[in-house]
Amino acid sequence: MNLQKKIILNKNLIDLNSLKLSVKSKYFIECSNDQDLKSVHAFLKNKKIKFFILGEGTNIVFKKNYDGLIIKNSYKTLKKVNGNKIKISSGFNWDKFVQYCLNNSLYGVENLSGIPGSIGAAPIQNIGAYGKEVSSLIESIEIFNLKTGKNEEFLKKDMVFKYRDSIFKKKPHLFIKNICFALNKDFIPNTSYDDLKNKKFDNAIDVRKEILKIRKRKLENYKINPNVGSFYKNPIINEKKLKQILSIHDDLKFYKYKKDYKVSAAWLIDRCNWKGKQLKKSFVSKKHALVLVNKDSKSSSILGLSNKIKKEISNKYKIKLTEEPRII
Protein backbone atom coordinates (compact mmCIF):
# COMPACT_ATOMS: atom_id res chain seq x y z
CA MET A 1 0.00 0.00 0.00
CA ASN A 2 1.29 3.43 -0.95
CA LEU A 3 0.52 5.38 2.21
CA GLN A 4 1.00 8.76 0.57
CA LYS A 5 -1.77 7.94 -1.89
CA LYS A 6 -4.16 6.40 0.64
CA ILE A 7 -3.84 8.87 3.53
CA ILE A 8 -6.16 11.85 3.24
CA LEU A 9 -5.30 15.07 5.05
CA ASN A 10 -7.95 17.10 6.90
CA LYS A 11 -10.76 14.71 5.98
CA ASN A 12 -14.24 15.97 6.86
CA LEU A 13 -16.12 13.20 8.69
CA ILE A 14 -19.64 14.64 8.28
CA ASP A 15 -20.75 11.69 6.13
CA LEU A 16 -19.02 9.15 8.38
CA ASN A 17 -20.96 9.78 11.60
CA SER A 18 -24.71 9.42 12.13
CA LEU A 19 -24.96 12.72 14.03
CA LYS A 20 -23.75 14.53 10.88
CA LEU A 21 -21.15 16.46 12.85
CA SER A 22 -18.82 18.47 10.65
CA VAL A 23 -15.41 17.64 12.11
CA LYS A 24 -12.10 17.07 10.41
CA SER A 25 -9.44 14.46 11.02
CA LYS A 26 -5.83 15.50 10.53
CA TYR A 27 -5.12 12.13 8.91
CA PHE A 28 -7.61 9.62 7.50
CA ILE A 29 -7.13 6.18 5.98
CA GLU A 30 -9.34 3.27 4.96
CA CYS A 31 -8.14 -0.24 5.81
CA SER A 32 -9.53 -3.20 3.88
CA ASN A 33 -6.87 -5.93 4.20
CA ASP A 34 -3.90 -7.19 6.21
CA GLN A 35 -1.35 -5.22 4.21
CA ASP A 36 -3.22 -2.00 4.95
CA LEU A 37 -3.06 -2.77 8.67
CA LYS A 38 0.67 -3.49 8.59
CA SER A 39 1.32 -0.25 6.74
CA VAL A 40 -0.77 1.71 9.23
CA HIS A 41 1.17 0.14 12.09
CA ALA A 42 4.43 1.34 10.50
CA PHE A 43 2.95 4.81 9.95
CA LEU A 44 1.84 5.09 13.58
CA LYS A 45 5.19 3.84 14.84
CA ASN A 46 6.91 6.55 12.82
CA LYS A 47 4.52 9.42 13.51
CA LYS A 48 3.70 8.59 17.14
CA ILE A 49 0.24 10.13 16.91
CA LYS A 50 -3.09 9.17 18.43
CA PHE A 51 -5.58 7.18 16.38
CA PHE A 52 -9.14 5.95 16.42
CA ILE A 53 -10.75 3.01 14.61
CA LEU A 54 -14.05 4.04 13.02
CA GLY A 55 -16.77 1.64 11.87
CA GLU A 56 -19.98 3.07 10.41
CA GLY A 57 -19.99 5.95 12.91
CA THR A 58 -23.43 5.22 14.35
CA ASN A 59 -22.31 5.21 17.98
CA ILE A 60 -19.81 8.04 18.17
CA VAL A 61 -19.84 11.71 19.16
CA PHE A 62 -16.94 13.79 17.88
CA LYS A 63 -16.51 16.70 20.27
CA LYS A 64 -14.14 18.55 17.94
CA ASN A 65 -11.66 18.07 15.10
CA TYR A 66 -9.53 14.96 15.58
CA ASP A 67 -5.81 15.73 15.79
CA GLY A 68 -4.63 12.27 14.79
CA LEU A 69 -5.39 9.38 12.46
CA ILE A 70 -8.90 8.06 11.84
CA ILE A 71 -8.73 4.46 10.61
CA LYS A 72 -11.91 3.59 8.70
CA ASN A 73 -12.67 -0.11 9.05
CA SER A 74 -13.51 -1.54 5.61
CA TYR A 75 -12.08 -4.98 6.42
CA LYS A 76 -14.24 -7.47 4.47
CA THR A 77 -11.97 -10.39 3.66
CA LEU A 78 -13.90 -13.32 5.15
CA LYS A 79 -17.41 -14.79 5.35
CA LYS A 80 -17.42 -18.51 6.10
CA VAL A 81 -20.06 -20.87 7.50
CA ASN A 82 -19.09 -24.17 9.14
CA GLY A 83 -21.97 -26.02 10.76
CA ASN A 84 -23.47 -23.75 13.42
CA LYS A 85 -20.47 -21.41 13.32
CA ILE A 86 -19.83 -18.43 11.13
CA LYS A 87 -16.60 -16.47 10.86
CA ILE A 88 -16.98 -13.05 9.32
CA SER A 89 -14.92 -9.89 8.94
CA SER A 90 -15.56 -6.80 11.00
CA GLY A 91 -16.20 -4.34 8.18
CA PHE A 92 -19.50 -5.88 7.11
CA ASN A 93 -22.80 -4.26 8.10
CA TRP A 94 -24.39 -5.75 11.24
CA ASP A 95 -28.01 -5.92 10.09
CA LYS A 96 -27.08 -7.46 6.74
CA PHE A 97 -25.17 -10.06 8.75
CA VAL A 98 -28.30 -10.84 10.78
CA GLN A 99 -30.25 -11.37 7.56
CA TYR A 100 -27.44 -13.54 6.17
CA CYS A 101 -27.52 -15.77 9.26
CA LEU A 102 -31.27 -16.30 9.04
CA ASN A 103 -31.01 -17.05 5.33
CA ASN A 104 -28.53 -19.77 6.26
CA SER A 105 -30.77 -21.19 9.02
CA LEU A 106 -28.51 -19.96 11.83
CA TYR A 107 -30.41 -18.54 14.79
CA GLY A 108 -29.84 -16.45 17.90
CA VAL A 109 -29.17 -13.07 16.28
CA GLU A 110 -32.76 -12.30 15.23
CA ASN A 111 -33.49 -10.23 18.37
CA LEU A 112 -30.59 -7.97 17.41
CA SER A 113 -32.16 -7.05 14.07
CA GLY A 114 -32.09 -3.45 12.92
CA ILE A 115 -29.14 -2.29 15.03
CA PRO A 116 -27.09 0.10 12.87
CA GLY A 117 -23.33 -0.15 12.55
CA SER A 118 -20.63 -2.62 11.58
CA ILE A 119 -19.99 -6.12 12.87
CA GLY A 120 -16.69 -4.99 14.41
CA ALA A 121 -18.47 -2.53 16.68
CA ALA A 122 -20.76 -5.22 18.13
CA PRO A 123 -18.32 -6.80 20.63
CA ILE A 124 -16.73 -3.47 21.60
CA GLN A 125 -20.07 -2.17 22.80
CA ASN A 126 -21.50 -5.61 23.61
CA ILE A 127 -24.61 -4.54 21.73
CA GLY A 128 -27.91 -5.75 23.08
CA ALA A 129 -31.61 -5.39 22.45
CA TYR A 130 -34.91 -7.14 23.13
CA GLY A 131 -33.53 -9.60 25.64
CA LYS A 132 -30.28 -10.52 23.87
CA GLU A 133 -26.63 -9.46 24.13
CA VAL A 134 -24.13 -10.24 21.39
CA SER A 135 -21.60 -11.57 23.94
CA SER A 136 -23.72 -14.72 24.31
CA LEU A 137 -23.06 -15.55 20.65
CA ILE A 138 -19.34 -14.79 20.26
CA GLU A 139 -16.81 -17.62 20.48
CA SER A 140 -13.54 -15.95 19.45
CA ILE A 141 -12.14 -12.82 17.80
CA GLU A 142 -9.06 -12.35 15.62
CA ILE A 143 -7.42 -8.96 16.05
CA PHE A 144 -4.47 -6.97 14.75
CA ASN A 145 -2.53 -5.16 17.47
CA LEU A 146 -1.69 -1.71 16.13
CA LYS A 147 0.93 -1.24 18.87
CA THR A 148 2.90 -4.44 18.30
CA GLY A 149 2.04 -5.10 14.66
CA LYS A 150 1.04 -8.68 15.47
CA ASN A 151 -2.09 -10.77 15.00
CA GLU A 152 -3.73 -12.16 18.14
CA GLU A 153 -6.75 -14.25 19.06
CA PHE A 154 -9.14 -13.57 21.92
CA LEU A 155 -11.41 -16.23 23.36
CA LYS A 156 -14.66 -15.24 25.06
CA LYS A 157 -13.09 -15.47 28.52
CA ASP A 158 -10.50 -12.86 27.46
CA MET A 159 -13.07 -10.29 26.36
CA VAL A 160 -14.43 -9.29 29.80
CA PHE A 161 -17.94 -8.66 28.55
CA LYS A 162 -20.20 -6.48 30.70
CA TYR A 163 -23.32 -4.41 30.10
CA ARG A 164 -22.45 -2.30 27.04
CA ASP A 165 -18.78 -2.88 27.72
CA SER A 166 -15.83 -5.13 26.89
CA ILE A 167 -12.04 -5.21 27.08
CA PHE A 168 -11.90 -3.63 23.61
CA LYS A 169 -13.10 -0.30 25.00
CA LYS A 170 -10.05 -0.23 27.24
CA LYS A 171 -7.71 -1.39 24.48
CA PRO A 172 -8.53 0.82 21.48
CA HIS A 173 -5.31 -0.26 19.74
CA LEU A 174 -6.85 -3.66 18.95
CA PHE A 175 -8.26 -3.70 15.43
CA ILE A 176 -10.94 -6.39 15.28
CA LYS A 177 -10.47 -8.35 12.05
CA ASN A 178 -12.69 -11.43 12.16
CA ILE A 179 -15.31 -12.66 14.62
CA CYS A 180 -16.41 -16.25 15.09
CA PHE A 181 -20.05 -16.62 16.14
CA ALA A 182 -21.50 -19.84 17.54
CA LEU A 183 -25.19 -19.81 16.63
CA ASN A 184 -28.07 -22.27 16.86
CA LYS A 185 -29.27 -24.68 14.18
CA ASP A 186 -32.65 -24.87 15.89
CA PHE A 187 -34.93 -21.85 16.24
CA ILE A 188 -35.86 -21.11 19.86
CA PRO A 189 -37.82 -17.84 20.15
CA ASN A 190 -36.62 -15.36 22.77
CA THR A 191 -39.70 -13.46 23.95
CA SER A 192 -38.35 -12.32 27.32
CA TYR A 193 -38.58 -8.62 26.42
CA ASP A 194 -41.84 -6.84 27.30
CA ASP A 195 -42.74 -5.97 23.69
CA LEU A 196 -42.42 -9.61 22.67
CA LYS A 197 -44.19 -11.28 25.57
CA ASN A 198 -47.43 -13.13 24.81
CA LYS A 199 -46.47 -13.31 21.13
CA LYS A 200 -45.94 -16.60 19.32
CA PHE A 201 -43.38 -16.96 16.56
CA ASP A 202 -43.06 -19.94 14.26
CA ASN A 203 -39.78 -18.82 12.72
CA ALA A 204 -36.92 -16.34 13.16
CA ILE A 205 -37.92 -14.27 10.14
CA ASP A 206 -41.17 -13.36 11.90
CA VAL A 207 -39.21 -12.34 15.02
CA ARG A 208 -37.00 -10.14 12.87
CA LYS A 209 -40.02 -8.54 11.16
CA GLU A 210 -41.65 -7.81 14.51
CA ILE A 211 -38.50 -6.25 15.95
CA LEU A 212 -37.93 -4.11 12.86
CA LYS A 213 -41.54 -2.94 13.19
CA ILE A 214 -41.03 -2.06 16.87
CA ARG A 215 -37.79 -0.22 16.14
CA LYS A 216 -39.45 1.80 13.36
CA ARG A 217 -42.27 2.76 15.70
CA LYS A 218 -40.07 3.65 18.67
CA LEU A 219 -36.81 4.92 17.22
CA GLU A 220 -35.73 7.68 14.87
CA ASN A 221 -34.17 6.95 11.49
CA TYR A 222 -30.69 8.47 11.78
CA LYS A 223 -30.62 9.13 8.02
CA ILE A 224 -33.56 11.53 8.47
CA ASN A 225 -33.05 12.73 12.05
CA PRO A 226 -29.34 12.38 12.94
CA ASN A 227 -28.89 10.37 16.14
CA VAL A 228 -26.89 7.53 17.71
CA GLY A 229 -29.83 5.48 18.99
CA SER A 230 -29.90 5.20 22.77
CA PHE A 231 -27.83 8.07 24.15
CA TYR A 232 -27.61 6.63 27.68
CA LYS A 233 -27.11 3.29 29.33
CA ASN A 234 -29.77 2.10 31.74
CA PRO A 235 -28.25 2.87 35.17
CA ILE A 236 -27.62 -0.02 37.56
CA ILE A 237 -28.57 0.56 41.22
CA ASN A 238 -28.67 -1.52 44.39
CA GLU A 239 -31.78 -2.71 46.22
CA LYS A 240 -31.65 0.06 48.82
CA LYS A 241 -31.65 2.76 46.17
CA LEU A 242 -34.42 0.97 44.30
CA LYS A 243 -36.67 0.91 47.36
CA GLN A 244 -36.05 4.62 47.93
CA ILE A 245 -37.30 5.50 44.45
CA LEU A 246 -40.20 3.02 44.57
CA SER A 247 -41.42 4.61 47.78
CA ILE A 248 -42.01 7.78 45.76
CA HIS A 249 -42.70 6.36 42.28
CA ASP A 250 -44.33 2.95 42.30
CA ASP A 251 -44.49 2.95 38.48
CA LEU A 252 -40.70 2.98 38.10
CA LYS A 253 -39.54 0.71 35.28
CA PHE A 254 -36.76 -1.59 36.42
CA TYR A 255 -35.35 -5.04 35.76
CA LYS A 256 -33.40 -7.50 37.88
CA TYR A 257 -29.75 -7.46 36.79
CA LYS A 258 -27.48 -9.99 38.51
CA LYS A 259 -27.45 -8.90 42.19
CA ASP A 260 -28.64 -5.38 41.40
CA TYR A 261 -31.33 -3.66 39.35
CA LYS A 262 -31.30 -1.94 35.98
CA VAL A 263 -33.48 1.18 35.88
CA SER A 264 -35.04 2.50 32.68
CA ALA A 265 -33.12 5.64 31.68
CA ALA A 266 -35.99 6.51 29.34
CA TRP A 267 -38.41 6.48 32.29
CA LEU A 268 -36.15 8.83 34.27
CA ILE A 269 -35.83 11.25 31.35
CA ASP A 270 -39.56 11.12 30.68
CA ARG A 271 -40.36 11.79 34.35
CA CYS A 272 -38.20 14.89 34.20
CA ASN A 273 -40.33 16.07 31.24
CA TRP A 274 -37.49 16.12 28.72
CA LYS A 275 -39.23 14.08 26.04
CA GLY A 276 -39.75 16.28 22.98
CA LYS A 277 -37.84 19.24 24.46
CA GLN A 278 -35.31 21.17 22.38
CA LEU A 279 -32.11 22.97 23.32
CA LYS A 280 -30.45 25.02 20.60
CA LYS A 281 -30.31 22.69 17.56
CA SER A 282 -30.82 19.36 19.34
CA PHE A 283 -33.90 17.77 20.87
CA VAL A 284 -35.16 14.71 22.71
CA SER A 285 -37.20 12.53 20.39
CA LYS A 286 -40.97 12.45 20.90
CA LYS A 287 -40.83 8.75 19.97
CA HIS A 288 -38.34 7.66 22.62
CA ALA A 289 -36.77 9.63 25.48
CA LEU A 290 -33.41 7.86 25.06
CA VAL A 291 -32.91 9.25 21.57
CA LEU A 292 -31.33 12.69 21.21
CA VAL A 293 -31.62 14.16 17.72
CA ASN A 294 -28.95 16.50 16.41
CA LYS A 295 -29.52 19.22 13.81
CA ASP A 296 -26.24 21.06 14.38
CA SER A 297 -22.94 20.69 12.54
CA LYS A 298 -21.14 21.11 15.87
CA SER A 299 -21.32 18.94 18.98
CA SER A 300 -22.11 21.77 21.42
CA SER A 301 -25.89 21.46 21.01
CA ILE A 302 -26.24 17.74 21.64
CA LEU A 303 -23.64 17.61 24.41
CA GLY A 304 -25.20 20.67 26.05
CA LEU A 305 -28.61 18.98 25.95
CA SER A 306 -27.15 15.77 27.35
CA ASN A 307 -25.42 17.56 30.22
CA LYS A 308 -28.63 19.33 31.25
CA ILE A 309 -30.55 16.05 31.26
CA LYS A 310 -27.84 14.31 33.30
CA LYS A 311 -27.70 17.16 35.80
CA GLU A 312 -31.46 17.20 36.38
CA ILE A 313 -31.67 13.44 36.89
CA SER A 314 -28.71 13.54 39.24
CA ASN A 315 -30.35 16.30 41.28
CA LYS A 316 -33.78 14.67 41.35
CA TYR A 317 -32.95 10.98 41.73
CA LYS A 318 -29.27 10.95 42.76
CA ILE A 319 -28.61 8.69 39.79
CA LYS A 320 -25.78 9.23 37.33
CA LEU A 321 -26.57 8.70 33.67
CA THR A 322 -23.72 7.46 31.49
CA GLU A 323 -23.59 8.04 27.75
CA GLU A 324 -23.78 4.95 25.57
CA PRO A 325 -21.98 6.33 22.48
CA ARG A 326 -18.25 6.85 22.56
CA ILE A 327 -17.35 10.52 22.93
CA ILE A 328 -13.97 11.56 21.57
**For residues 192 and 289, what is the distance between their CA atoms, to the nearest angstrom?**
22
Position 25, amino acid: S
Q: Which of 18, 230, 285, 299 is catalytic?
A: 230
Which value, in Å, is the radius of gyration of the alpha carbons in the chain? 20
Question: Does the active-site annotation cover 306?
Answer: no
**For residues 169 and 175, what is the distance between their CA atoms, to the nearest angstrom?**
11
Q: Which of 56, 90, 133, 164 is catalytic?
A: 164
CA-wise closest residue to 181 among 99, 78, 91, 81: 81
Backbone phi, psi, residue 230, to 5°: -65, 125
Residues ≥6 apart with Cβ < 8 Å to 241: 318, 319
Question: Does the active-site annotation cover 210?
Answer: no
Question: Does the active-site annotation cover 152?
Answer: no
Q: Which residues are marked as active site?
A: 164, 230, 324
